[in-house]
């Protein structure tokens, strides 16, 4: 009985791969070398069929500043693609391909109705080092990850232990039902193993619609924040979000060491949640903060949102 169950599960994943790999492509982004016109700089990655007919979704960093984008399908067909638009902050790009090469994408999982949970089995398909349709399997390690690197901030990411390598970026990640849950986006560098990240599919859908309307502007408030514990006591397990610095435009309303209690009525206890709430708002708009200031108490503050640049480190 156990052997039969194991075989059924194995066959299930095999069938899912056979279906999914038909929607995955290998992307080569070419950029002319002005110093030597006989050579090209290029980057490689993966992509997959998206919901709009004739479209492919991939990472922005793969196709940024490209002069030509070459696509090869799982069957070996090669064709050119056109960049429709991209969002460097979320790191997604939408490509247009000849309609005859487009295939219906995998079903997207509704992450609001069925949330991702640590421990779920997931699978990724990509083209690491140009090795087409390479499959790797693992589990979700964590959700809603906040990533603070030397060059940029990322939030709301899926963390997995799925093996990824250069060339996997932009490929699909799907669950045990064959539904898309996200896009492989990168891994931690250095002396680490099996710490990889994916962009959730609901964020991809939300921001791709804004890209197509030329409204992909990520808002921010203009505050530097850090997670801390009440009275600096980690054993309390109660986190707070403390303001450590602020932009010039907010200095007359916000003070250093103010604690953010709520944003637009939502209670805040983590950087990831704060960034998610702010990022879900439309620019231009205003935002209301409930803050606690030592010696004063609770204060409501209304601030104007600002457009976020790629290297901004503000909330």
> Quick count: other Cβ atoms within 10 Å of Cβ 51?
14
pLDDT of residue 39: 53
Identify the weakest region by mean pLDDT among 106-110, 157-161, 190-194, 262-266.
190-194
pLDDT over 60 (residue 8): no
Record the pTM: 0.90
Look up 61 and say whether it is catalytic: yes
**Identical topology for domains 2-101 and 121-212:** yes
Q: Rounded to an integer, what distance in angstroms lies between the CA atom of residue 256 and that of residue 175? A: 43
pLDDT of residue 192: 66
- In DSSP terms, which residues pair with 31 in a beta bridge? 41
pLDDT over 80 (residue 231): no
pLDDT of residue 9: 57
* Domain range summary for the chain, segments of one domain joined by +: 2-101, 121-212, 219-307
Q: Rounded to an integer, what distance in angstroms lies between the CA atom of residue 96 and that of residue 105? A: 14
Q: Rounded to an integer, what distance in angstroms lies between the CA atom of residue 315 and that of residue 313? A: 7
Look up 26 and say whether it is catalytic: no
> Quick count: other Cβ atoms within 10 Å of Cβ 197?
22
Q: Which of 43, 46, 91, 132 is catalytic?
A: 91
CATH code 2.40.10.10 for 2-101: yes
Cis bond before residue 284 (omega within 30° of 0): yes
Which residue spans within 161-195 are E strands per DSSP?
Answer: 172-175, 180-187
Using one digit for the tens of pLDDT, what is the confidence trace for 278-305? 999 988 889 999 999 988 889 999 999 9
Q: Which of 26, 61, 185, 279 is catalytic?
A: 61
- Which residues touch 202 (CB under 8 Å, ≥6 apart)? 110, 111, 112
One CATH from 2.40.50.140, 2.30.42.10, 1.20.1250.20, 3.40.30.10 for 219-307: 2.30.42.10
The domain defined by 121-212 folds into: Thrombin, subunit H (2.40.10)
Look up 91 and say whether it is catalytic: yes
Q: Which of 169, 185, 208, 272 is catalytic?
A: 169
């Amino acid at each position: 009985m156990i052997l039969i169950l194991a075989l059924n599960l194995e066959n299930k994943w095999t069938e899912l791969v056979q279906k999914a790999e038909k929607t995955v492509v290998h992307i080569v982004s070419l950029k002319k070398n002005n110093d030597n016109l006989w050579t090209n700089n290029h980057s490689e990655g993966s992509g997959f069929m998206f919901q709009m007919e004739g479209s492919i979704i991939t990472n922005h960093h793969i196709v940024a500043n490209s002069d030509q984008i070459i696509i090869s399908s799982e069957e070996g067909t090669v064709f050119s693609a056109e960049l429709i638009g991209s969002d460097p902050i979320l790191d997604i790009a939408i490509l247009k391909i000849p309609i005859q090469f487009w295939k219906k994408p995998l079903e997207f999982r509704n992450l609001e109705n069925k949330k991702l949970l640590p421990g779920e089995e997931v699978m990724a398909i990509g083209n690491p080092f140009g090795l087409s349709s390479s499959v790797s399997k693992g589990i979700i390690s964590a959700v809603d990850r906040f990533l603070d690197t030397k060059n940029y901030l990322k939030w709301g990411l899926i963390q997995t232990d799925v093996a990824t390598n250069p060339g996997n970026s932009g490929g699909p990640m799907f669950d045990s039902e064959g539904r898309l849950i996200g896009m492989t986006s990168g891994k931690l560098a250095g002396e680490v193993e099996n710490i990889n990240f994916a962009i959730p599919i609901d964020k991809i859908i939300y921001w791709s619609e804004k890209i197509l309307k030329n409204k992909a502007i990520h808002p921010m408030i203009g505050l530097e924040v850090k997670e801390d514990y009440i009275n600096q006591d980690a054993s309390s397990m109660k986190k707070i979000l403390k303001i450590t610095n602020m932009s010039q435009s907010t200095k007359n309303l916000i003070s250093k060491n103010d604690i953010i209690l709520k944003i637009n009525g939502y209670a805040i206890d983590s950087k990831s949640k704060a960034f998610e709430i702010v990022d879900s708002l439309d620019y231009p708009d205003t935002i209301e903060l409930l803050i606690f200031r030592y010696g004063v108490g609770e204060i409501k503050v209304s601030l104007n949102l600002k457009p976020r640049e790629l290297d901004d480190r503000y909330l």
